[in-house]
Amino acid sequence: MSLRGDVCVVTGACGFLGKRLVRLLLEEEKMAEIRLLDKRIELQFLQSLEDCKGETKLSAIEGDIRDGEFLKKACRGASVVFHVASIIDVSDSVKYSELYGVNVRGTQLLLEACIQENVMSFIYTSTIEVMGPNPKGEPIINGSEDTVYDSTLKFNYSKTKREAEERTLQAHGEVLQNGGQLATCALRPMYIYGEGCRFLLGHMDDGIRNRNVLFRMSLPEALVNPVYVGNVATAHLQAARSLKDPQKRIAVGGKFYFISDDTPPVSYSDFNHVMMSPLGFSIQEKLQLPLSLLYLFCFLLETLSIILRPFIRIIPPLNRQLLTMLNTPFSFSYQKAKRNLGYVPRYSWEEAHKRTIEWLASQLPAEREKIWSK
């Protein structure tokens, strides 16, 4: 099922995944219009799309996801919404009110705008972190949508993403103003990597400061399966096509899907090394402290930050939940997305690996200069 002639809205269009999704839509579908919605639209990004936009109208719409009237105007006349925008925070550095306002309230307002403006399909970008890992660090290996797990969450980010996902799925089947029905689904990507990944750049910067030695924060046996950004964009396109198809719409809607690809399972720290070893980086052989002592260290830092909070806000560089996430085997299969959505990774591991390394290599000189000039 093609999206030819449709009008779509992409929230977070100038973010890491949003940019890749917009380009894919332009390359794969002859849509009538793509509305790029973000708090700030980069002129350079718009100019970079000239080579592939064809006759598709590109509309840059700047505004706040927490503004209901703004969202209704952005959705007016659209048929599909890709809700990619959110605040990502794994260090608990963002105030809960702001996280909730953007991640939960913004999603609810967008769903309401879709209902009022007769938008037929809504695809929500969730995250693997709505599943866990839980504070006990209980592992999942090659899990599926049917995996039973005590997904007690401690990160405010994870909690707000899970509530937003729940609201999205509950909205499936809501009656639109014109009498039609809204169809929704949620995609749960693994850790997303690729060109433009700020987390990879951050780890590279740390390695540069440490004389080209990457820090080890994960045990080698804590296997996860990262997913390439191009494949996540492909999954979003397939989800939209499925929700538009009258035969698939009922079966696909109201459900979530794990999105991974054929990237080999590896620990987070070793994945950084896989990507950066061709650029001359090595990695620490062992954790800087035994894992139990690292947990104790994090506990002390967290306690200190709580004691000082009435006077000064201190964000510990590492916390127990992040340490748990980095050291828990946690991997998932994409087979249900393949069966129901027709999702097949567009990019092989070899190509994703090559593209990401080439991008990191292009960034390396500027990162070195930025760090050593300080």
Q: DSSP assignment of 173-223, as one string? A: TPBPTTS-B-EEEEEEE-SEESTT-HHHHHHHHHHHHTTSEEPP-S-TT--
**Continuous H helices in 49-150:** 68-75, 96-99, 106-116
CB 80 within 8 A of CB 57: no
**Nearest 5°: phi and psi at 60?**
-90, 120
CB 164 within 8 A of CB 101: no
Question: Distance (Å, rounded) from C-alpha 273 to C-alpha 139?
Answer: 23
Assess whether the previous peptide bond of 133 is cis (omega < 30° from 0): yes
Q: Which amino acid is at 183?
A: A
* Candidate list 124, 157, 228, 334, residue with the active-site label: 157
- Distance of CA 153 to CAs 160, 292, 308, Å? 10, 20, 24
Question: Distance (Å, rounded) from C-alpha 337 to C-alpha 144?
Answer: 10
CA angle (63 as vertex; 313, 52 as ends), nearest 5: 115
Residues 6 or more apart in contact with residue 149 via CB below 8 angstroms: 131, 132, 134, 138, 140, 143
**Nearest 5°: phi and psi at 282?**
-105, 180
- Alpha carbon 75 to chain centroid distance? 22
Question: Distance (Å, rounded) from C-alpha 206 to C-alpha 195?
Answer: 18
Neighbouring CB atoms inside 10 A of 82's CB total 29
The reply to whether 157 belongs to the active site is yes
Instruction: Give the closest residue to 184 by CA, choosing from 81, 104, 235, 253.
Output: 253
- Enzyme catalytic residues: 157
